[in-house]
Amino acid sequence: MSFEYSQELMKDYEKLLEKLIEDMMLLFTLVKIRFIYCGKIDLKESQVPEILNLLIVVDEHNIQTLVQCIQEYLIKYKYDFLQQNSIEVFEITHDYEAFTDLWNYCLGKICEKSDELFKSDKFINLKESLLELLLNRDDLLTDEIVKWDSLIKWSFAQHPNIQKDVKKWNKEEIITMGKTLHRFIPLIRFYHITSADFFLKLYPFKVFLPEVMIDKLVAFHMIPAKKSIYDFIIINVKHFALFSNWIEMKNDSYYNESNYPYDFKLLYRASRDGKTTVAFRSKCDNKGATIVIMKIPNSEQILGGYNPLERDSSDIWKFTRESFIFSFMNRDDFNSSKVGYINDPFHAIHCLQDCKPTFGSGHNLFQDNDSSWKNIPKGYVIGNYDDFNVEDYEVFQVVKK
């Protein structure tokens, strides 16, 4: 891979070499990546650490064109290394303002597999700045109790002489741990932690947590949970929160089960109401926005689709840019979910008299009049399921609260 530079830029390089003739580290790096005076830099045979060293030195001497080109090269051609070493590269580059593209890329890779990071041995070695940046993110799919457990392990790693048994801490140890964790405590969503985890894993550390916060959490967890107002058998309230994020095209953790802004009213369940087209139409036609969820037999796999328009039997295509279809390889693993928004809005929803839910011009997702389900990727893209059977499916009316 070669980068071509203008004659004017080469004059800058000439000055750089004159200025840094005694800088053996840079000279060695330039030689190793075969810096060619005519304006070509061949990075093919160079290792990523060498390229990163060059990037840092070039930035120090303010050759921003080359800084940008090297970042682009690393992202385009060294993505395997960046993905496997995203934490290390991020920590190397984060302190350099000019390396925004590179550290944003690495941060994105870290967030994609945040669970792996929080549960890995690498976590306890994170710098405070990176840890704070991660916990500030709204798009992590890591459970709050996992974040808390990892944060406690990280704090013990910073103070290896402090014993693990909280009950045996002296006043100095309590103050030390409190100061270490003070900046991170507001970044944990404590109300998303289950009562069992709260009392077993969080409450023992109340000695350095704000007293008012602990009192409120105790009261919150002591009040009996209200019976769910929703009727469902395939999914749970957490799915409704995720669907709400998809409906509003927000990141997956913007809403949670305590604050999502829609009501999901069960209109139709195939096993309850019958699998005929007549039964489906009588329950689901002219009900406004709806979402259908179906379960694949002998698995935890589910898929479905969201229709923001009113379903009827008009035998016409309906236009929208807001519909989507989705799948979960495992309905209990939100990291296994995929969502695909319509890319052909003129053929988003097909209201057929003799078919049930019908999405896309393929059709992407529909039940034929012979009760078979099909998925032909075209207007939406989440993968190809071909013909498939459904154990049961539910349709919910979606209404803004």
User: Torsion angle of alpha carbons 31, 37, 38, 40, nearest 10°?
Assistant: 30
* Tokens of residue 382, six digits: 């989440």
pLDDT > 70? residue 382: no
Compute the average pLDDT of residues 109-123: 85
Question: Of 229 and 323, which is predicted with more confidence?
Answer: 323
Collapsing DSSP to helix, strand or coil, 9 comes out as helix
Encoded amino acid at 137, one letter: R
162 pLDDT tier (thresholds 50, 70, 90) = very high
pLDDT > 80? residue 317: yes
Q: How far apart are CA 373 and CA 70, in angstroms?
A: 49
Give the DSSP H/E element, type plus range, for residue 356. none
List pLDDT tens digits, range 2-32: 444 444 545 555 555 455 444 435 444 454 4
Global confidence as pTM:
0.53
The pLDDT of residue 15: 52
Q: How far apart are CA 133 and CA 251, in angstroms?
A: 17
- Centre a 10 Å sphere on the Cβ of residue 295 and count the other Cβ atoms it contains: 21
pLDDT > 90? residue 55: no
What the chain holds in terms of domains, given with CATH numbers, is 2-112 (no CATH), 118-222 (1.25.40), 237-400 (no CATH)
The residues facing 366 across adjacent strands are 358, 374
Q: How far apart are CA 153 and CA 124, in angstroms?
A: 7
pLDDT > 70? residue 372: no
* Tokens of residue 242, six digits: 């995720």
Encoded amino acid at 363, one letter: H
Among 34, 89, 79, smallest CA distance to 56 is for: 89
Q: Cis omega before residue 363 (within 30°)? A: yes
The pLDDT of residue 228: 52
List pLDDT tens digits, range 250-275: 888 788 887 899 999 999 998 888 88
Q: How many CA atoms lie within 13 A of 26 on its CB side?
A: 16
Compute the average pLDDT of residues 57-84: 83
User: How many residues are listed for the chain in this entry?
Assistant: 401
Q: Across 329-388, where does the E strand assignment appear?
A: 337-341, 349-351, 358-359, 365-367, 373-375, 386-388
Collapsing DSSP to helix, strand or coil, 240 comes out as helix
The pLDDT of residue 302: 92
Residue in this structure with the two tokens 């803004």, named with its chain if needed = 400
The pLDDT of residue 27: 41
- What is residue 136's DSSP assignment? T
Q: Are 155 and 181 in contact (CB under 8 A)?
A: yes
Compute the average pLDDT of residues 95-102: 86
- What is residue 350's DSSP assignment? E
pLDDT > 70? residue 375: no
pLDDT > 90? residue 98: no
Q: How far apart are CA 115 and CA 117, in angstroms?
A: 5
List pLDDT tens digits, range 164-196: 999 999 999 999 999 999 999 999 988 878 888
Q: How far apart are CA 235 and CA 245, in angstroms?
A: 16
Q: How far apart are CA 80 and CA 86, in angstroms?
A: 10
Q: How many CA atoms lie within 13 A of 344 on its CB side?
A: 16
